[in-house]
Structure 1
Amino acid sequence: MILAVDIGNSNICIGGLDGMKVLFTARMVTRPRCTGDEYTAELKFLLGRLGVTPEACEGVIVCSVVPDLTKVLADACTRLTGRKAMLVSPALNTGLTFAVDAPDRVGRDRIADATAAAAHYPLPCMTVDLGTATTYNVISSKRAFLGGFILPGVQTSLRAISSGTAQLPPDHLIGRNTVECLNNGVMFGTAAMLDGLAARVEAELGEPLTVVATGGLAPCIMPCCTRKVIYDSDLLFKGLAILYNKNAE
């Protein structure tokens, strides 16, 4: 089993990979000031809850968008498993070419999502990751990473204008009170943006576009969309599995 760690701004997700299969996923809150010893203990606890021993981990891959925690978590995984962590970067064999200005500055989570999309879905493809930030990636029919879009996440937008908790997803379009107006504006607005960006990307590429959504809020947004959107909850971990298998040797 390969231990995969995805370090995000809000949560750190761990997954167990067996070849291309995702055996399990779990998450813990991202705490920037935690030490390596604390993260080692927390990882050991989470794996224990899942019935996984550190000795069962034959390798480790780390994907991080929090630079200050990359080495901390990589070292914690190494202490826990005895395996050196592979770090996601555009320098790895991704199966993609990067048609962007600065490949090294592309978010590591975006690299993993794009790698999985290119391997599992018809191209050209646009991925939409609805997390703390909403990130879009566009992969051409020639397996080139063309770039994409980055926007504030759905919950980030909602928190910015209201401290209340809205109901997700809405069951009708037009809000009839303040909470509904805020909730429906964010939900249907995000869906309309997804539909609109997909249509514009499709027109620019001149080819039918596959759209794949991932992230915890994707199931809330997808019913509000007017075009077909494929949901893949494990897209990032599938990408990490591909990256590890391509580069382990």
Structure 2
Amino acid sequence: MLLAIDIENKITNVGIFENKKLIGNFEITTDKNKSIDEIYLILKLMLMDKEIKFSDIDHVIISTVVPELLESYSKISQKITNKNPIIISPGVKTGINIKCENPKEVGTDRIIRAVGASDFYDKNIIIISASTITTIDYINDKKEFLGGVILPGIDLFEKALHQESAKLPQVEILRPNKILGNNTTKSIQSGIFHAYQNACWGIIENIIDERKLKNEKPEIIITGKYANFLANDSSKQIPSLGLIGLGKVFEINKEK
């Protein structure tokens, strides 16, 4: 079995692959202050809950945007499999050509999502990762990663509005039925939702216009915690897209 670990700023996604198929996944909180032993125990318990033992794991692959945790997870991987994990870094083959000014600056989370999406489609793709940090990336039909946009997630819209005002309450983030709210809470909820949705879809329209993709009809893929707030008939939701990408990168780089 393959253990795939995608470490993001707030959440670490963990997937288990068997014969190239994602057979299970779970999330744990990303915490730079947790010790190796604590992380090891959490992983062990979460896998046991899925009736999987560490002894079932043959390989580990890791992507992280939190450098402080790389050493910890690498040591845990060595402890589980007695071998070094594959780490998404320069030199690892991905099947994606990063056509940016400095490819090393592109977050590995964005790269593995591009790999996962390109494994589904051989056409122009726009990927929205709707998380606390939202990214919108464009990969063309030649599997070239041409760049993207980074903006706050919908939860940061809500957090900023609450923290920067003296009287506005903290509210639940939801999809309102109407644009106009008839009380303060509903007005805030409408403002947060529509600001986020219009920002993301407006950016997508701008990408389509700038890259002259109207006739190409790019595939629009949404993933991430807040994907439901953006989904519509012109898009497809693919949960665990980063883990799917990690599984693909493993297959490209595994020892023959």
Match of 2:223 in 1: 214
2:4 is the counterpart of 1:4: yes
Secondary structure in 1 matching 2:230: helix
2:243 is the counterpart of 1:234: no
Q: Is the 8 A contact 1:137 1:149 kept in 2?
A: yes
Aligned partners of 1:39 and 1:89: how far apart in 2? 22
Correspondence list, 1:29-68, <5 A: 29-68=29-68
Aligned partners of 1:50 and 1:214: how far apart in 2? 23
Match of 1:189 in 2: 195
Shift of 1:165: 3.1
Q: Is the 8 A contact 1:133 1:150 kept in 2?
A: yes
Q: Is the 8 A contact 2:197 2:229 kept in 1?
A: no
Secondary structure in 1 matching 2:177: coil
Match of 1:144 in 2: 144
Match of 1:202 in 2: 208
Q: Is the 8 A contact 2:173 2:193 kept in 1?
A: no
- Report which of the two structures shows the higher radius of gyration computed on alpha carbons: 2
TM-score (ref. length: structure 2): 0.90
Secondary structure in 2 matching 1:5: strand
Shift of 1:246: 0.3
Aligned pairs, number: 246
The one-letter amino acid paired with 2:237 is Y
Secondary structure in 2 matching 1:165: coil
Shift of 1:230: 0.8
Bigger Cα displacement from structure 2, 55-64 vs 14-23? 14-23
Shift of 1:111: 0.5
Aligned partners of 2:236 and 2:134: how far apart in 1? 16
The one-letter amino acid paired with 1:53 is K
2:24 is the counterpart of 1:24: yes
> What do you get for the CA RMSD once the two structures are aligned?
1.6
Runs of 5+ in structure 1 lacking a partner?
none
Deviations 1:82-125 (A, max 9, x none): 33211112432111111101111111110000111112124211
Secondary structure in 1 matching 2:231: helix
Q: Is the 8 A contact 2:13 2:243 kept in 1?
A: no
Shift of 1:65: 0.8
Aligned partners of 2:25 and 2:201: how far apart in 1? 29
Aligned partners of 1:57 and 1:145: how far apart in 2? 32
Q: Is the 8 A contact 1:128 1:212 kept in 2?
A: yes
2:187 is the counterpart of 1:178: no
Bigger Cα displacement from structure 2, 156-165 vs 197-206? 156-165
2:132 is the counterpart of 1:132: yes
Which residue of 240, 244, 249 corresponds with 1:243?
Answer: 249
TM-score (ref. length: structure 1): 0.93
Deviations 1:153-193 (A, max 9, x none): 11122112126232412222222222222222222222212
Match of 2:110 in 1: 110
2:175 is the counterpart of 1:169: yes
Secondary structure in 1 matching 2:221: strand
Change (3 A) 1:248 1:174: same
Match of 2:166 in 1: none
Aligned partners of 2:17 and 2:185: how far apart in 1? 41
Aligned partners of 1:20 and 1:199: how far apart in 2? 35
Aligned partners of 1:57 and 1:182: how far apart in 2? 47
